[in-house]
Structure 1
Amino acid sequence: MTETEGYVDQAVTGIAEPQPMYKALRESTPVFRAPQAVVLSRLADIEMALKRTDLFSSNMDAVDLGNLRPLIPLQIDPPEHAKYRRILDPLFTPREMARREPYVTELVNEMIDRFAARGECDFHAEFAVPLPCTVFLQLLGLPLEDLDKFLEWKDGVIRPAGSTGYDDRHDASAGVAQQIYEYFDRAIDDHVANPRDDVLSAMIAAQIAGEPLSREELLDICFLFLIAGLDTVTDSLDCFFVYLARHPEHRRQLIEQPDILPHAVEELLRWETPVPGVARVAMRDVEVGAARSARANGSARCSARPTPTPRSSPIPNWWTSPATRTGTAPSAAVRTGASAPTWRAWSCGWRCANSTAASRITRSSPAPSWSTPLPCARCKHCP
């Protein structure tokens, strides 16, 4: 077995608790050549790759989900990225999220009420999946009865059946992607004819330099929202509550010190991120450490791995109090020009879920079952 094969095997089998693997990788081979990418795990290298968009692009070659055009704003580099942020950011301001927070909290309690009398639940199936999906549909003004269809589609593009790697992902997911485009095309027509108080109607009404977003731009934003809203938040909730099950002292801390919750959410996102890496495309030959990320056949991938407490970082392994917490640049939600503008929406969901569920779900199993982790850690069963 080669060193590379051993690393990939460890990535697949160790996803339930990957931090030791990340630590060993950072200390032994911080710039590592994997089969499909050069993997970075040192803070300085990661920051360089994420900020130097002239060298490392977020374009479509970084992640192929069967989409026909770049997902907006995830696969758009600066300076074009900024014009979409100017439209999307106002839709997710703290005031706007505060307006929606009571609804999310009420929804959390309703979902817990459904299984509270039984004294048990499958956290993944009965909470982590339906909560963010319901919030997502409500935000965009889409019918709740379409939930099962959306769940099937997001798995079809993120984990396409029959795909064995990067090379055949597009063909495996393209058919499902086309169904997503067609659905949102009809949804946009409906919202144009019948405007309402939701994010999709607001995007349709928004303008850049006096011009509305094109139909293709709206579709590309909606495509990304589906993936971020239905998959990433679910996977994060799974990871969060498995951690709290394994560390009941921190669950008690959340209940006894609710003021630390915003910082705890940030720290959980950094420590328990379900996303194994952030992919970028080398736009020309670049040498990082002792490894060269070559621009071969048009592109080469550079993957920045999560880094639990990077060298030279003051960030602790766990939160202690608001006074000791700082911004987490190397976290799962890396604050770069390519970070999703919907951060406050998902943060609102995580905060409501953690504050309410941590106090009401008092017993949980620390041994869930996990599916194949790539591209994201995914819990199949969490009693």
Structure 2
Amino acid sequence: MTIDVARDPRPVFRALRDSGRVQRMDGLSGPAVVATGRAAIDEIFKYPDVYSSAAHAGTLGNLRPLIPIEYDPPEQRKYRKLINPVFSPAAVERWKEPVTRLVHELIDGFIGAGEIDFAKQFSTPLPSQIFLTLLGLPLEDLPTFLRLKDGIVRPSLLLGLPPNHPDVKAHQRATAQEIYAYYDKVLDEREAERRDDLLSHLLDVEVDGEKLTRHELLDICFLFLTAGLDTVSASLETFMAYLAEHPERRAEVVASPDNIDNVIEELLRYESPVMLVSRFATTDTELAGCPVHKGEQVYVFIGAANLDEEELPDADQVRFDRPVNRHIAFGGGVHRCLGSHLARLELRIILREWHARIPHYRIKPGTRLSLSPGVRSLNSFPMVLGEGAE
């Protein structure tokens, strides 16, 4: 899990699959199991009672489990039942116009420039601005949200320290307290006066006849901030890096805007912006013939499974005309990404509007992109715009 691997993880994914689609290795905290085959990972997602997400509670500096991702069924179902309608395909359509507007506002700021930093000027601020709009929060809070997000999601990179360094965990805990305090203040304001936003909606919904407690609301909001911003940025950055390096494929996107959905699904599969997730075994078991012991961490390499030739014979090829695409870039099972429909809406609008206005671009010559491991995102993405970029 290094920057060099994150830049192009496919050779490592292949080597892992070739050496055994499930195998035992040393993890960050002791013996662990690494799953890279699609069939094995489907089994992991199918049995959350055996491969638990709940044991992750507190790993991001949070005081309580994040809702619903750090709960297992049956408790998890209660919260998903409450939140799912907010992020259904029909529900997220209401955000189409605000997202389109934000995309064009950002593009307007640099459309005449010959060179930009795509990460700093577009792919990082845009998902956060969409998130702020969704929650009814002021766009002036964007710098605060970006700082809080990085303090939770990538504190080791932020501090330049190893992931297990005590200062990294201390920084996460301090950032978590800031997040709780920020949302606590905003929820006080919404309690006094409702608005047409997601926070007001969550204050009024009921689960089995009961409203959410303040702690439950804070734990949902904490997850929104940590899970809803980085993954869309990472998707945009990996997609655009691929298209910038393959101008013939970019020309297909420009020429066929109605095929954007297929482009998104194929790049989600091929790039797998979220490289892996993890689970903890709740009992002794066996996975594809490999022993798994109670309490061990199981690393689920989504990116490797999406390229598994046993699942998809031409998995190493990028095809924008793929008739069936069963990728697991959003995970699977009961913990499949809650915001996948919103992410798809954002990506669809962004790719269509960007390529309508900026059909020609490339990575700045001499640049070697450095993607962060885990969630493959960029801190900097120098990009040259215009026909001269070809």
Question: TM (normalized to structure 1)?
Answer: 0.89
- Count of matched residue positions in the alignment of Structure 1 and Structure 2: 368
Give the drift of 1:291.
Answer: 4.0
Q: Which residue of 2 aligns with 1:213?
A: 212
State whether residues 242 and 368 of structure 1, in contact with CA within 8 Å, keep that contact through their aligned partners in structure 2.
no
Give the drift of 1:22.
Answer: 0.8
Give the drift of 1:100.
Answer: 1.5
Identify which range, 353-362 or 46-55, moves more after superposition: 353-362
Identify which range, 85-94 or 345-354, moves more after superposition: 85-94
Q: Which residue of 2 aligns with 1:117?
A: 112
State whether residues 62 and 279 of structure 1, in contact with CA within 8 Å, keep that contact through their aligned partners in structure 2.
no
Q: Which residue of 1 aligns with 2:333?
A: 336
The code of the aligned residue for 2:107 comes to I
Q: Which residue of 1 aligns with 2:191?
A: 192
Q: For residues 86-122 of structure 1, what are the alpha-carbon distances to aligned partners after superposition, in whole Å with 9 as ceiling and x for unaligned?
A: 2112112323322211221121112111111112211
The code of the aligned residue for 1:17 comes to D
Looking at structure 2, the residues matched to 73 and 217 of structure 1 have their Cα atoms a distance apart, in angstroms, of 10
Q: Which residue of 1 aligns with 2:318?
A: 318
Within 5 Å, give how 1:262-273 maps onto structure 2: 262-273=261-272
The 1:265/1:320 distance shift into structure 2, 3 A limit, reads closer
**Residue 9 of structure 2, aligned match among 18, 28, 33:** 18
State whether residues 128 and 238 of structure 1, in contact with CA within 8 Å, keep that contact through their aligned partners in structure 2.
yes
Q: Which runs of 5+ in 1 are unaligned?
A: 1-7
State whether residues 54 and 65 of structure 2, in contact with CA within 8 Å, keep that contact through their aligned partners in structure 1.
yes
Q: Which residue of 2 aligns with 1:128?
A: 123
Identify which range, 359-368 or 69-78, moves more after superposition: 359-368
Looking at structure 2, the residues matched to 38 and 372 of structure 1 have their Cα atoms a distance apart, in angstroms, of 25
The code of the aligned residue for 1:332 comes to A
Q: Which residue of 2 aligns with 1:351?
A: 348
Give the drift of 1:266.
Answer: 1.9
Note if 1:165 corresponds to 2:163. Answer: yes
Give the drift of 1:240.
Answer: 0.9
Looking at structure 2, the residues matched to 80 and 113 of structure 1 have their Cα atoms a distance apart, in angstroms, of 46
| Sequence identity percentage | 37
Looking at structure 1, the residues matched to 170 and 219 of structure 2 have their Cα atoms a distance apart, in angstroms, of 19
Give the drift of 1:188.
Answer: 0.9
Give the drift of 1:293.
Answer: 3.1
Identify which range, 11-20 or 350-359, moves more after superposition: 11-20
Q: Which residue of 2 aligns with 1:5?
A: none
Give the drift of 1:54.
Answer: 1.5
Q: Which residue of 2 aligns with 1:29?
A: 20
State whether residues 319 and 325 of structure 1, in contact with CA within 8 Å, keep that contact through their aligned partners in structure 2.
no
Looking at structure 2, the residues matched to 99 and 285 of structure 1 have their Cα atoms a distance apart, in angstroms, of 46
Note if 1:86 corresponds to 2:84. Answer: no
The 1:372/1:97 distance shift into structure 2, 3 A limit, reads closer
The code of the aligned residue for 1:22 comes to F
The 1:320/1:233 distance shift into structure 2, 3 A limit, reads closer
The 1:370/1:158 distance shift into structure 2, 3 A limit, reads farther
Q: Which residue of 1 aligns with 2:103?
A: 108
Note if 1:233 corresponds to 2:232. Answer: yes
State whether residues 134 and 144 of structure 1, in contact with CA within 8 Å, keep that contact through their aligned partners in structure 2.
yes
Q: Which residue of 1 aligns with 2:385?
A: none
Could you say what secondary structure the match of 1:265 adopts?
Answer: helix
Q: Which residue of 2 aligns with 1:284?
A: 283
The 1:162/1:171 distance shift into structure 2, 3 A limit, reads farther
Looking at structure 2, the residues matched to 320 and 269 of structure 1 have their Cα atoms a distance apart, in angstroms, of 11
Q: Which runs of 5+ in 2 are unaligned?
A: 383-390
The code of the aligned residue for 2:27 comes to P
Looking at structure 1, the residues matched to 330 and 66 of structure 2 have their Cα atoms a distance apart, in angstroms, of 17
Looking at structure 1, the residues matched to 57 and 242 of structure 2 have their Cα atoms a distance apart, in angstroms, of 30
Looking at structure 2, the residues matched to 19 and 162 of structure 1 have their Cα atoms a distance apart, in angstroms, of 26
Could you say what secondary structure the match of 2:333 adopts?
Answer: coil
Q: Which residue of 2 aligns with 1:3?
A: none
Within 5 Å, give how 1:61-76 maps onto structure 2: 61=56, 64-76=59-71
The code of the aligned residue for 1:358 comes to H
Give the drift of 1:128.
Answer: 0.3
State whether residues 370 and 380 of structure 1, in contact with CA within 8 Å, keep that contact through their aligned partners in structure 2.
no
Looking at structure 2, the residues matched to 340 and 191 of structure 1 have their Cα atoms a distance apart, in angstroms, of 27
The code of the aligned residue for 1:65 comes to L
Within 5 Å, give how 1:350-369 maps onto structure 2: 350-361=347-358, 362-365=360-363, 369=368
Q: Which residue of 1 aligns with 2:386?
A: none
Could you say what secondary structure the match of 1:279 adopts?
Answer: strand
